[in-house]
Structure 1
Amino acid sequence: MREARGLEVHATESVHGTLTSGSGILRTLKQYCPVKWKPVIPGVETQLGPGLSYRAFNVPTSKSVRFEGTASYGRVVGYRVTDTSTDRSLVYLPGVQRLTPDILEEFQDCSALLIDGSFWRDDEMARLGLAGKTSRDMGHVPISGPGGSLEALSALGIRRKLYVHINNTNPILLEDSQERLQLDRHGMEVAVDGLELEI
């Protein structure tokens, strides 16, 4: 990104604050190229270019705040991206702690869903001796188990449902794993580098 002629960063006020004063990523990038912030307001349809728009939606989380002064609203968001010529859309939700009725409502009539697939089990990191926190503690709904995303999503009539944001401990990354076969049986896919979706 630092070799770009300029960057337009679409982010909520909360995320922008984290990128600027919390992590300092934008301060670093500004040393290499101009960076323009485009405020994202959940619920407001925003044009990206001819025939393409998005609408962000707030995703509630109880995950601990990493940087001081970060607002809770808009700290985690999903995006519904729409091709205005066909009125078809995809939903991008790489981080979600709980699939509440309000969140599931955001998936209505979408052609594709790209959703948080960070962990297979809620206690995945503890089982491997890597961390004491659960998947939900880290802000991610697990795929398996009661209240997991597979249970909630497999019945939805969405043409393409893909897991993204997958942790390297997640066995769905192994094409011949039992977990991957279980996804296949439920009509769920695993996103890969270079994947292109046409909505």
Structure 2
Amino acid sequence: MWVRVLGSAAGGGFPQWNCACPSCSAARDGSRPCVPRLQSSIAVSADRHQWFLLNCSPDIQSQIESFEALHPVPGQGPRVQAVLLTDAELDHSLGLLLMREGRGVEVHATESAHGTLTSGTGILQTLQQYCPVVWTPVIPGVEAQLGAGLSYRAFNVPTAKPKRFAETTSYGRVVGYRVTDISTDRSFVYLPGVQKLTPGVLGEFQDCSAILLDGSFWRDDEMASLDLADKTSRDMGHVPISGPGGSLEALSALKIPRKIYVHINNTNPILLDDSPERLHLDRHGVEVAVDGLEFEI
């Protein structure tokens, strides 16, 4: 199967429109080496003809146009078959509204995420006024078929992040996906949002060929250190990369061929190619995703 990173930044992209932090400033003035990034989403395919999106960011139109394999084919229609959501966050679901011109949209989401998208943000209610929406319930722990040649198993990701809406249930509010190529039995894990790498979550990485993991913040106090917010990384639902209990500590102990950080916040210094933090990841064999990164599993 093939995996394509459509967007590697967290919500707001990089640079973020309202931010003048060192990383965003460098991206604008070219003072340090870095590459702009769109908001987090990936595409996966078993045959390079049928593609499935994991999350659908507000940048979906630009992301599809930048990747020829996703371009519609005359007489065949769109290449995107369905969207799998890890949660109901706006930066992961707002792009669904931009797919309203199609003949229909198939959305895989948990009961919790579906409830938020229906009675909270109202995204699915709005989308249904323009085109048919098929909801496929995602049940954590249950293997599900995904078109020709692929299957997935979602897993619950515990979070204590404050709720914006009255989700019907906390279970399944955030999930990760383990996607498997049925012909080879090889898998990768997509987990762009995780507050804590619990033993249960780490167990989902067992024997996978690649992991695309939440790399939102380098430090737990990153936002406060830049005088941008008083919330910590963990308060915002993201385990930091560095420090005790950080994701790099856990990743370093795992024998996984490819370890890739995605969903990188605009304040994170790993976005700067020459930063000490980026070089530290290089020494540990951990990649920093960039838009357009594509690899075969």
State the TM-score, normalizing by the size of structure 2. 0.66
Q: Which residue of 2 aligns with 1:141?
A: 239
Q: Deviations over 1:53-97 (max 9, x none)?
A: 000000111111110143100001000000010000000011111
> Which moved further from structure 2: 188-197 or 141-150?
188-197
Provide the secondary structure at the position in 1 that maps to 2:277: helix
Distance in 1, matches of 2:202 and 2:162, equals 23
Q: Deviations over 1:27-54 (max 9, x none)?
A: 2222222111000000110000121000
Candidates 138, 156, 171, aligned match of 1:40: 138
Are 1:95 and 2:214 an aligned pair?
no
User: How many corresponding residue pairs?
Assistant: 199
> Which moved further from structure 2: 106-115 or 63-72?
63-72
Aligned CA-pair RMSD: 0.9
Candidates 201, 205, 225, aligned match of 1:127: 225
Counterpart residue type for residue 86 of structure 1: T
Q: Which runs of 5+ in 1 are unaligned?
A: none
| Sequence identity percentage | 82
Counterpart residue type for residue 182 of structure 1: H
Distance in 2, matches of 1:157 and 1:168, equals 29
Q: Deviations over 1:161-187 (max 9, x none)?
A: 101111111111111111111111011
Q: Deviations over 1:88-129 (max 9, x none)?
A: 000001111111111111000000000000100000011111
Contact 2:208–2:256 (8 Å) recurs in 1? yes
Q: Which residue of 1 aligns with 2:65?
A: none
Are 1:160 and 2:258 an aligned pair?
yes
Distance in 2, matches of 1:26 and 1:69, equals 15
Q: How does 1:58-137 map to 2 (within 5 A)?
A: 58-137=156-235
Distance in 2, matches of 1:84 and 1:29, equals 32
Structure 1 runs of 4+ with >6 Å offset: none
Q: Which residue of 1 aligns with 2:125?
A: 27
Q: Which residue of 2 aligns with 1:50?
A: 148
Distance in 2, matches of 1:99 and 1:24, equals 31
Distance in 1, matches of 2:253 and 2:104, equals 43
Provide the secondary structure at the position in 2 that maps to 1:18: helix
Provide the secondary structure at the position in 1 that maps to 2:264: coil
Provide the secondary structure at the position in 1 that maps to 2:193: coil
Distance in 2, matches of 1:30 and 1:191, equals 33
Q: Which residue of 1 aligns with 2:249?
A: 151
